[in-house]
Amino acid sequence: MTISNEAVDRRQVPRRATPAIVEVRNLTKSFNHTVKAVDDITFEVNEGEIFGFLGPNGAGKSTTIHMLTTILKPTSGTATICGYDILKEANEVRRSIGVVPQEYTADEDMTGYDNIMLCADLYGIPRSTSRKRALELLRLVELEEARDRKVSTYSGGMRRRLELACGLINHPRLLFLDEPTLGLDVQTRTAVWSYIRRLKEEYRMTLFMTTHYLEEADSLCDRIAIIDHGRLVKIGTPNDLKEGIGGDIIELGLKEDSDSASGLIGQVKGVKDVKKVSVLSYRIKAELGEETAPRIIEVLRENGLHVTRIALTKPTLDQVYLEYTGRSMREEEVSSEQMMNHRRTMRAARS
Amino acid sequence: MSEPADPTGTQTEERSRGNETDEDGSVSRSPFHGLWALTNRELKKWYKVPVLLFLSLIQPVLWLGLFGKAFNLGGLITGGGLEIPGLSIPKEVLNQIAATFMENTFGTGDYFSFLAVGMLTFVILFTAMFSGMSIVWDRRFGFLNKVLSTPVARGSIVMGKVLSSVIRSLIQAGIVLLIAVLLGMDFSNFSAVSILGTFAALFLMTLGFSAFFLMLALRSGDYQTQMAIVNLLNLPLLFGSNALFPAKFMPEWLQAFVQINPISYGTDVGRQLLLGAPGMNTLAFDFAYLIGFATVFSVIGIVLSWRYLTK
C-alpha cells in the first residue's frame, strides 16, 4: 500500500527533461560476412522509460542487446549508453549498466548471497558497500529467507529474482533485461512485473527489455520496437502501434432501417470508415473507440435512430505483431518454451 | 520534502540510496579486480565438495599402488628368477646385481619412488587438461556473457581459470607426494629446497598446459570436442615421456618425442631433486625449457582466448 502511495508522490515531483540514455546509430552486425543478424538499426531510448524489444526468435534482439552490453562488437555503426561509446568507452558503459541475462547464470553450488557477492566483486565494489547492498537487494526481491541456501534448491521464480538482484548490484542507471519472464508461470511473471515497475517508479531506472510475451510488452513498456530479420520495422508506444494498424472496430445494430445512418456516423469525430454490413448493422473503424462510440450513439439519437447493440473491439498487439512480422506471437511462445526445456535438460546434465 | 509519518521508513531509505549513483565512485579501478573472485569461484566448487577432490586423487593413487608396487622389477632378480643350473650365485651377489640394475635403469633404488615422481606430473597434466571444461559450461549457461558485461578485465576472465587450475593441480600434487611417502617412497633426499624446486617446475608445467587447454576449449566450444581432444592427447603425452619409464630404453623416434615433451622436464627436475637421481639434462636446462614452455603457451593461450572474448 505504502509503495503505491509513494509512487504517486514521486510522479508529482517535476521531472527534468529526458535526454536519450541509449542512442543507437546504424548499428549492424554480420556473422561470417554474410548473415546480417542486425541490419542498420537506429533508435533511441529515453531516460526513465521501459523500452521493449519485440520480435520473433532469431530476429536480432539478443544480438542487439549483446552489442549494447559490450559482449559483441558491432560490424559497423555505433551506439552510446549513458553518454559513453560502446566501443571506445566499453568499461564505462559496463559500469553504468546492469544486465539480467536470459539464462539462469547463478552458480548452483553457491548460495544466493554468495552469488550476489561474486557479482559485486566483478564490479569492483568494496566489501563494506557490497555486503550492505547485497542484503538490501535480497530484501527487495524477497529472497532474504533463502539467502544462505544453495541456488540448486531455488525454484525458477526465485532464480529469476536472484538474477534480477545480481543485475542491480552496481546500482545501474540502465538495466537490460533479456526475456525476464521466459518460462515462468503466470503468478511469478506478475511478481517480476511488479519489481520492474518498482524499479522504474521508485528508483527512476531506465529499463531495456526484450520479450516474447504480448501482455508483457503491452502492460509494461512505455515504448516498443518491433524487430524482424535484423531490421527495425516499427517503433512507438503500444497505443500508437495499435492505432497505426487502423484503429478500433465498432459494431453497431440499429432499430430502424435508415439511408442516412451511414452519412450521420461518418460525420462523427474520430470515425474513419463506415460500412453497412447488413440491413440493420454497421461496422465502423474509428480512433479511440471508447470515446467515439458514445458520440455516435448521441448523434444517432438526435436524429431519431435507436441503437440496439454496440460492440467495441480494440486491436491487440498480436495483430500489430502479425501485421509487421507476418507471424503470430503464439507460435513464438511455443518455441521459446521448448528452448527453455532444452536449457533445463542441460542444467540437469551439469549437476 | 515533508516525510509523512511512515511506518516503512526503511523503504524510503533504501529507495533514496538506490538513486545515488555517485556512490559508485568508490569502485575499484584496478585492472585485477575480480580476478580472485573468479578464481575462487572455481576453487570453491572443488574444496566445498570433498568427494570431488577424493575422486581426482583415486587415479594417481591407484597407479601408485597397482603399478608402482606390483611392478617389482628388483624382485625379478632377487626373487629366484635368476636360477641357473650348475651355477650357484650367492644371495648377496644377486642383491648387488639387482641394486646395480635398478640404479642404472631408474637412477634410484626402487621403481616405486621412480613412479611416484612421475605421478606428480601425471596428476598435474590431468587437472590442467580439464581446466578448459568449465569455460565451455560457463559459455553454455550464459555465465560467460554475464561476466563479459561487467567491467572485469578480459584477461582476468582467462587468468582466473588458469590460476584456479594451477592452484588445484599443485595442491593435488602435494597430496599425491604425501601419500607416496606414506606408501614407502624414498624421502632421504627431501629438503625444503628440493621440494620447493620440484613444485616450481610443476608450477611452470601446469601454467603452460592450463593456458593451452583453456584456449583449445574456448575455440572448440563444446565439451564433446574437448573430451575427444583430451583423450587423444593424454596417452601420448603420458607414455611419450619419462614419467612411467626411463627414456633410454625407448626406440629413437619415441626418445625424440620425449625430448620435446614438457612432462619429461617436469619429471626430470622432480627425480633429480627429490630422489637425487642422475638427470636426463642439467637442472638449469630443465628449468630453462620449462620457463620457455610456460611463457610461450600461456602467452599464446591467454592472447588467443582474450581475442576470442573480445570479438
| pLDDT at A335 exceeding the cut of 70 | no
- CA nearest to B113, candidates B177, B173, B171: B177
Are the C-beta atoms of residues B108 and B271 closer than 8 Å to each other?
A: yes
pLDDT more than 90, % of chain A:
40
User: Model confidence at A351, in pLDDT bands (50, 70, 90)?
Assistant: very low
B48 with A109: Cβ contact below 8 A: yes
Which residue intervals of chain A bear CATH 3.30.70.100?
246-313
Identify whether residues B174 and B77 lie together within a single domain: no
Domain boundary among B61, B79, B106: B106
pLDDT given at position B4: 40
Residues B101 and B231 in one domain: no
ipTM for this model: 0.75
Q: Which residue has the higher pLDDT, B284 or B65?
A: B284
- Are both B95 and B187 inside the same structural domain? no
Which alpha helices (H) appear in chain A, and where do they start and end? Answer: 2-12, 61-68, 90-96, 112-122, 127-140, 156-167, 186-203, 214-220, 238-244, 261-267, 289-302, 317-325, 329-350
pLDDT value of residue A16: 43
Q: What's the domain count of chain B?
A: 2
Mean pLDDT of B87-113: 75
Q: How confident is the model at residue A68 (pLDDT cuts 50, 70, 90)?
A: very high
Banded pLDDT at B306 (limits 50, 70, 90)? confident
H-only helix segments in B133-191: 133-140, 143-148, 154-182
List Cα–Cα distances, A182 to A51, A114, A187, B83, in angstroms. Answer: 17, 24, 13, 79
The answer to whether the Cβ–Cβ distance between B151 and A91 falls below 8 Å is yes
Whether residues B98 and B153 share a domain: the answer is no
Q: Of the ranges A191-200, B20-29, B183-192, B265-274, which one carries the lowest mean pLDDT score?
A: B20-29
Residue A111's pLDDT band (boundaries 50, 70, 90)? very high
Given a contact cutoff of 8 angstroms between Cβ atoms, the answer to whether B177 and B121 are in contact is no
B195 CB neighbour count, 10 Å cutoff: 16
For chain B, say whether A183 makes contact (Cβ under 8 Å).
Answer: no
Residues of chain A contacting B152 with CB distance shorter than 8 Å: 122-124
C-alpha cell of residue A119? 557479482
Would the CB atoms of A122 and B20 count as touching at under 8 Å? no
Residue A148's pLDDT is what? 94
pLDDT at A347: 55
Tell me, which fold does domain A246-313 have in CATH? Answer: Alpha-Beta Plaits (3.30.70)
Contacts 24+ apart (CB under 8 A), B240-245: B241/B121, B241/B267, B242/B118, B242/B267, B242/B268, B242/B280, B243/B118, B243/B119, B243/B121, B243/B122, B243/B267, B244/B67, B244/B115, B244/B118
Judgement on whether residues B75 and B205 belong to the same structural domain of the protein: no
pLDDT of residue B130: 83
pLDDT tier for residue B183 given thresholds of 50, 70 and 90: confident
Q: What was the pLDDT predicted at A113?
A: 95
Answer yes or no: is B235 within a domain: yes
pLDDT reported for residue B68: 75
Supply the DSSP string of A143-182, one letter for each residue. -STTTTSBGGG--HHHHHHHHHHHHTTT--SEEEEESTTT
- On whether both B77 and B190 belong to a single domain, the answer is no
A182 touches B at CB < 8 Å:
no
Residues B195-223: tens digit of each pLDDT: 999 999 999 999 999 998 888 888 776 77
Q: Cell 626411463 sits at which residue? A: B246
Question: Please, is B183 exposed, middle or buried when counting C-beta atoms within 10 Å of its C-beta (0-12, 13-18, 19+)?
Answer: middle
- Which has more confidence, B274 or A10? B274
% pLDDT > 70, chain B: 84
CB contact under 8 A, A139 and B18: no
Distance CA(A151)–CA(A312), nearest Å, equals 48
Q: Which domain holds residue B83?
A: 71-106
The dihedrals phi and psi of A111, each to the nearest 5 degrees, come to -75, 165
Query: Which grid cell sits at A241?
Result: 502501434
Cβ proximity of A140 and A85 under 8 Å? no
Q: Is residue B279 part of a domain?
A: yes
Model confidence at B5: pLDDT above 70: no
| Least confident segment among A122-126, A132-136, B279-283 | B279-283
- For residues B131-145, give the mean pLDDT: 84
Q: Do B36 and A121 touch (CB under 8 A)?
A: yes
**Cβ–Cβ below 8 Å for A170 and B145:** no
Looking at the fold, whether B93 and B120 belong to one and the same domain comes out as no
Asked whether the beta carbons of A110 and A151 are under 8 A apart, the reply is yes
**Helix A186-203 crosses helix B9-19 at what angle (to 10 degrees)?**
70
Q: How far apart are CA A53 and CA B101, in angstroms?
A: 77
What does the pLDDT read at residue B60?
Answer: 81
In a domain, B229, yes or no: yes
Residue of B nearest to A3 (CA): B11
Place of cell 539467502: A147
Report the distance separating Cα A2 and Cα B132, nearest Å: 51
Nearest to B34 among A72, A121, A166 (CB): A121
Residue of B nearest to A122 (CA): B34
Give residue A10's pLDDT: 40
Share of chain B above pLDDT 90, in %: 29
| Range with the poorest average pLDDT among A98-102, B18-22, B138-142, B180-184 | B18-22
Is residue B132 located within the same domain as residue B238? Answer: yes
The pLDDT of residue A340: 63
- The partner residue sitting opposite B15, judged by closest CB among A119, A166, A203, is A203
Which of A123, A138, A170 has the most B C-beta neighbours within 10 Å, making it the best mutation to test the interface with B? Answer: A123
Are both B132 and B115 inside the same structural domain? Answer: yes
Q: Is the pLDDT of residue B18 over 50?
A: no
Report pLDDT for B295.
95
The answer on pLDDT for A219 being more than 80 is: yes
Whole-angstrom distance, CA of residue A313 vs CA of residue A316: 9
Residue B300 lies in a domain: yes
| Pair B226, B302: CB distance under 8 Å | no
Indicate whether B104 pLDDT > 80. no
Q: Which of A176, A228, A221 is nearest to A332 (CA)?
A: A228
What is chain A's alpha carbon radius of gyration, rounded to the nearest angstrom?
A: 24
pLDDT of residue A40: 92
Statement: residue A289 has pLDDT above 90: no
> Per-residue pLDDT tens for A14-66?
444 457 899 999 999 998 877 889 999 999 999 999 999 988 777 888 899 99
Query: Can you give the pLDDT at residue A135?
Result: 94
With b meaning 16 or more CB within 10 Å and e meaning fewer, what string describes A262-280? eebbeebebbeebeeeeeb
pLDDT digits (tens, 9 = 90+) for A72-100: 999 999 999 999 999 999 999 999 999 99
Q: Does residue B299 lie in a domain region?
A: yes
- In chain A, residues under CATH classification 3.40.50.300 are 18-242
Residue B166 lies in a domain: yes
Query: Which of these, A236, A237, A103, A99, lies nearest to A173 by C-alpha position?
Result: A99
Q: What are phi and psi of A147, to 5 degrees?
A: -65, -30
d(CA A118, CA A314): 47
Rounded-to-integer distance, Cα A209 and Cα A286, Å: 31
CB contact at 8 A, A68 and A79: yes
> Closest to A122 (Cβ–Cβ): which among B7, B12, B150?
B150
Q: What is the mean pLDDT of chain B?
A: 81
Most confident of A85-89, A106-110, B19-23, B305-309: A85-89
Shared domain check, B42 and B190 = yes
pLDDT surpassing 50 at residue B48: yes
Kindly state the greatest CA–CA separation across chain B: 115
B275 and B247 share one domain: yes
Q: In which band, very low, low, confident or very high, does the pLDDT at A126 lie, cut at 50, 70 and 90?
A: very high
CATH class of A18-242: alpha beta
8 A C-beta contact, residue B11 and residue A3: yes
Q: What is the pLDDT of residue B71?
A: 67
Is the pLDDT at B8 greater than 70, yes or no? no
pLDDT at B73: 63
Q: Do residue B311 and residue A101 have CB atoms under 8 angstroms apart?
A: no
Is residue B289 domain-shared with residue B299, that is, in the same domain? yes
Burial of A253 (0-12, 13-18, 19+ CB in 10 A): middle
- Mean pLDDT of chain A, nearest integer: 84
